[in-house]
Amino acid sequence: MSNIYHDLIIDHYQHPRNFGELKNPDAVVQEANASCGDLIEFQVRVKRSANREQRTEIGEIAWRGVGCAISTAGASLLSERVKQIRRISQISQISQAGMVELLGGDISHARIKCAILPLVALQKAIRNVAI
């Protein structure tokens, strides 16, 4: 792992972005990695259209949990990415490889479950609110 990505992971681990909880979220999903004890919960609130029927964008996102540097930094980085993208259709297309790339692309096979745990939780949450 290059130093720039190592530093990025450490920064997001020590200073996680969007950590906390939302009032009245539209979806809350917890996922755990039993092999190492990581637990990540994503909360999302959708931005409703004028007619209140369509739910095509994430309005707010928060997460909380306990875990290793990889899963914590992954949740933080992913939440920041969601705030950039916002569109549920695009967020649902983030792949496991895309998640690993977000973390710098050099995750050992033993840590893959840690890296994709936030993605699994987020994708379940957006499936619960998608149109």
Distance CA 54, CA 47 (A): 9
> What is the set of domains in the chain, with CATH numbers?
3-129 (3.90.1010.10)
- Specify the DSSP class assigned to residue 2: -
Mean pLDDT over residues 20-49, rounded? 93
Distance CA 113, CA 107 (A): 10
SS3 67: coil
pLDDT at position 36: 86
pTM: 0.92
- Specify the DSSP class assigned to residue 110: G
Residue 105's pLDDT band (cuts 50, 70, 90): confident
- Specify the DSSP class assigned to residue 105: S
Task: Answer yes or no: is pLDDT of 43 > 70.
Answer: yes
Q: Which helix (H) or strand (E) holds 3?
A: helix 3-14
